[in-house]
Amino acid sequence: MSRLGTIGARLYRGEIGYDFVRHRKFWYGVSILITIAAIAGVAIRGLNMGIEFKGGAVFTTPSTKVSVADAREYAEEASGHPAIVQKLGNDTLRIQVAQLNTDQAAQVKSDLARDLKIDADKLGAELVGPSWGKQIANKAWTGLAIFMVLVVIYLAIAFEWRMAVAALIALIHDLTITVGVYALVGFEVTPGTVIGLLTILGYSLYDTVVVFDGLKEGAKGITKQNRYTYSELANRSLNGTLVRSINTTVVALLPVAGLLFIGGGVLGAGMLNDISLSLFVGLAAGAYSSIFIATPLVADLKERDPQMKALRKRVLAKRAKGETEPDESAADGGSDGTGADDDPRNEDAGDTAAASTGPSAVVGQRGRGRSSGRRR
């Protein structure tokens, strides 16, 4: 087994792990700083909206030896507006000029054909109205709002309202970062960008729901034991799915990175940047938020519950008496692999109840049996 596989197996069994919940304030701070930077980027630089949202004309040339820089200069001189030029296959160029009406587009087409030294009839021209882009934006906002509402309702029913709130905050975090990166990088926002933003919502929820499902199962009957607090169970559930989250994210990022860096950067297929950047940033932000934001937030909200407060007091009181050693049991595979209470009065019933509440239940597999043998 590879080293990564060995580490993953030990994480899965609860033998090792990083305390994400205990260090949650640090990661909250990191997330807040990133979010502030993203919002500042949008506020200061703004979004480079595509022609579909601003209106204008798109000109497509036949095969030409004119460089992108020269074509941009010709288009800006002819129109008096900034132009975006992309090199397509077979040495063709796509020239976008915003804020042109029909008469202006015809004049710009004539001037471009002259400067580029091509036949005006071979220079394709398409006029795009801003109302079309506004319709797309409005439908996208409507779809986003409906999606958010449905997600909250589903998670509240399938899990609980605290998990729904945490997942919603993580989603907003991911969308804000993605939009902020677009503003800072200056990539053009097109309908492809909107599609990418809506697509990453599902990816963002995937790892979060996997952890929540394990946490829901592990927390059944949690108040009947005195070994682990809710935050500790949440942390063990998160560590149990950590390697799987990393693997699925890396596998998803590789083809998207190919589209972004190879297709868009090396090969010059600029239109691929529209959707690939949003997917790349959204996938990475989704994996981050599911680990460092969503689950710790659930633990924070759950620990405010009176039952969880009482459980924490019992657990801490028992540890103060030296009756439980959670770190030691986690290091050697669990206190009998079931999380059963050591109290002999609950020896039989405790083994059964704790089988669904101990650390092994959180990660989905029963550990190796080892009786503590202690009696009071």
The model scores a pTM over 0.75: no
pLDDT band at residue 375 under the 50/70/90 scheme = very low
Distance between CA 36 and CA 136 in Å, rounded?
Answer: 27
Query: Considering only 12-21, 110-119, 224-233, 307-316, which range has the smallest mean pLDDT?
Result: 12-21
Measured CA to CA, the distance from residue 114 to residue 63 in angstroms comes to 15
pLDDT at 265: 55
Find the radius of gyration of the CA atoms of the chain: 28
CA 315 to chain centre: 34
Return d(Cα 62, Cα 60) in angstroms, integer. 7
Q: Mean pLDDT check: name the lowest of 125-134, 187-196, 355-364.
A: 355-364
- What is 206-226 written as a DSSP string? HHHHHHHHHHHHHTTTGGG-S
97-101, 142-146, 322-326: which is most confident: 142-146
In this prediction, residue 345 has a pLDDT band, given cuts at 50, 70 and 90, of: very low
Number of residues written out for the chain: 376
Confidence grade of residue 269 (pLDDT, cut at 50, 70, 90): low
Confidence (pLDDT) at 190: 79
262: which residues sit within 8 A by CB, 6+ positions away? none
| C-alpha torsion sign, points 210, 212, 218, 221 | negative
Q: What is the DSSP string of 82-104?
A: -EEEEE-GGG-EEEEEES--HHH
**Strand ordering across the sheet containing 93-98:** 83-87, 93-98, 56-60, 124-128
Lowest average pLDDT, out of 186-190, 236-240, 279-283, 366-370, goes to 366-370
CA distance 186 to 168: 27
Looking at per-residue confidence, does 260 or 7 come out higher?
Answer: 260
H or E segment and range at residue 122: none
Which has the higher per-residue pLDDT, 5 or 215? Answer: 215
- Identify the DSSP state of 365: S
Using 50, 70 and 90 to split pLDDT, how confident is the model at 340? very low
What's the rounded Cα separation, in Å, for the pair 147 and 282?
Answer: 16
Phi/psi for 120 (5° steps) reads: -60, -30
Question: What is the residue-averaged pLDDT of the chain?
Answer: 77
CB atoms within 10 A of CB 17: 19
Residue 280 has pLDDT above 70, yes or no: yes
What is the distance between the alpha carbons of residues 269 and 83, in angstroms, rounded to a whole number? 17
* Residue 274 reports pLDDT greater than 70: yes
Res 228: pLDDT: 86
pLDDT band at residue 36 using 50, 70 and 90 as cut-offs: very high
pLDDT of 332 higher than 60: no
Report, as an integer, the average pLDDT of 91-111: 83
Q: Which domains does the chain have, with CATH numbers?
A: 3-49+132-302 (1.20.1640.10), 57-128 (3.30.70)
Q: Which residue carries 């500042």 as its tokens?
A: 40
What is the pLDDT, as a whole number, of residue 376? 37
Please give the angle made by the CA atoms of 145, 146 and 151, to the nearest 5 degrees: 100
Q: What angle, 0 to 180 degrees and rounded to 10, lies between the N-to-C axes of helices 191-218 and 230-240?
A: 120
Q: What pLDDT is attached to residue 38? A: 92
Residue 122 to residue 117: CA distance in whole angstroms: 11
φ/ψ of 187, rounded to 5, equals -65, 150
pLDDT of residue 173: 92
**Per mean pLDDT, which range of 130-134, 139-143, 157-161, 287-291 is the poorest?**
130-134
Flag whether pLDDT at 216 surpasses 80. yes
Read off the pLDDT band of 94 (50, 70, 90): confident
How far is CA 342 from each of CA 318, 327, 370, 372, rounded to the nearest angstrom? 11, 15, 12, 7
Poorest-pLDDT segment among 75-84, 228-237, 317-326: 317-326
Higher per-residue confidence, 101 vs 284: 284
